[in-house]
Amino acid sequence: MTEVVSGGGAEFARVKLRTTIRRYRAGVGLTQKDAAEELGWSVSKLLRLEQGTSPITPSDMRALMSLYRETDPEVVAEQVEIAKQAREQTTYEAFSDIATREYQELMGLEMRAKVIYKYEPSVIPGLFQTEDYARNLSRALELGPERIERQVEMRMMRQANVLESPSRPELNFILGEPALSRKVGTNEVMLEQLNHLLELAKEGDITLSMLPLASGPHPRMGTAFTIFQFDDDLPDTLYLEGADIETVSIDKPEEVQIHRKLFAELHEKADDFPSFEDEVEEIRRYRFSRPERPTD
């Protein structure tokens, strides 16, 4: 049995499937229209399968493998098994009322990635948020009490699945200055959050950098992006998040490469300033260590 579910779950199986069937189709030189006609399917059905918006049944997978001239019975059996696993409950399906399919997929891939590159301009990334920071952030978004607690529960589960895994990925994160200096909750909440980041920065497989506002403008200033790199034959995958867009995944090599280059450029900009630890220490001292004004 193919070990797909262990680490990444059905989310990883779904991404792997849609990548595989697109690669197979390209390998035999068929367009989506040609392949759909050969199978007696509508083009929209094949499109949904290749985009991952519809599940692939084992019988559909066998039909695709036959059309794409895969004759090795072991390979066919493996792909059929992955199709079965992709139809199982995802790791975060219990949170489908508060997490989109794309966001569940992102969280699933975190568990299977070898390296994660992330730029987050506005808030502390979910993987690094303390419980109080996460709760106050959700409260600021004007969510109801029950939804807030479910958001926090999901975030803590996500952190445990990634950060406490013996095979956790290497994490390379660049945080915009607003992410570190924007007050979420009380000064006490922020000091705890910043202290937590400093502890994480000491770990050998976590690299944290801060991009100051003084570094100037750049592409994607208001958009967070994440690049996943895998050990498997899965290509690098890009996720975009922002106030003006929903979470979307892109596995087009040219787009991934553009963002890899941008990440490197942002890292160079950050390196022109004091170290992450020094920047955080300054923010702690001058923004959150003074007594707070009493509220009415």
Place of tokens 């996500």: 158
> Would you state the pLDDT for residue 242?
67
Long-range contacts, stretch 196-203, CB < 8 angstroms, 24+ apart: 196/128, 196/130, 197/124, 197/128, 197/280, 198/277, 198/280, 198/281, 200/128, 201/276, 201/277
Which of 21-30, 115-124, 248-257 is predicted with the least confidence, judged by mean pLDDT? 248-257
> Would you state the pLDDT for residue 243?
54
With cut-offs at 50, 70 and 90, classify the pLDDT of residue 137. Answer: very high
Res. 56: pLDDT tops 80: yes
> Would you state the pLDDT for residue 134?
95
Res. 89: pLDDT tops 60: yes
- As a whole number of angstroms, the distance between CA 106 and CA 111 comes to 9
- As a whole number of angstroms, the distance between CA 226 and CA 221 comes to 14
Res. 7: pLDDT tops 60: no
Domain borders along the chain are 9-86, 98-128+162-288
Residues making up the chain, counted from first to last: 296
With cut-offs at 50, 70 and 90, classify the pLDDT of residue 296. Answer: low
Res. 5: pLDDT tops 70: no
> Would you state the pLDDT for residue 3?
46
* Mean pLDDT (the chain, rounded): 89
- As a whole number of angstroms, the distance between CA 96 and CA 104 comes to 8
> Would you state the pLDDT for residue 187?
95
The pTM of the full predicted model, rounded to 2 decimals, is: 0.86
Q: How many other C-beta atoms can be found within 10 angstroms of the C-beta atom of residue 269?
A: 17
Mean pLDDT of 66-91: 92
* H or E segment to which residue 203 belongs: none
* 4 against 156, higher pLDDT: 156
With cut-offs at 50, 70 and 90, classify the pLDDT of residue 84. Answer: very high
- As a whole number of angstroms, the distance between CA 58 and CA 81 comes to 8
Res. 195: pLDDT tops 60: yes
> Would you state the pLDDT for residue 294?
62
Mean pLDDT of 125-141: 93
Q: How many other C-beta atoms can be found within 10 angstroms of the C-beta atom of residue 294?
A: 5
> Would you state the pLDDT for residue 52?
83
- As a whole number of angstroms, the distance between CA 66 and CA 85 comes to 20
| Percent of the chain topping pLDDT 70 | 93
**Sequential DSSP letters for 278-296:** HHHHHHIIIIISSPPPPP-
Q: At what angle do helices 187-201 and 276-283 cross, to 10 degrees?
A: 170
How does DSSP classify residue 95? Answer: G
Q: What dotted CATH number matches 98-128+162-288?
A: 3.30.870.10
pLDDT digits (tens, 9 = 90+) for 206-262: 999 999 999 988 877 878 999 999 986 788 889 988 655 556 777 778 999 999 999
Taking every pair of Cα atoms in the chain, the longest distance, rounded to a whole number of angstroms, is 74
How does DSSP classify residue 168? Answer: P
Res. 263: pLDDT tops 70: yes
With respect to CATH, is domain 9-86 assigned 1.10.260.40?
Answer: yes
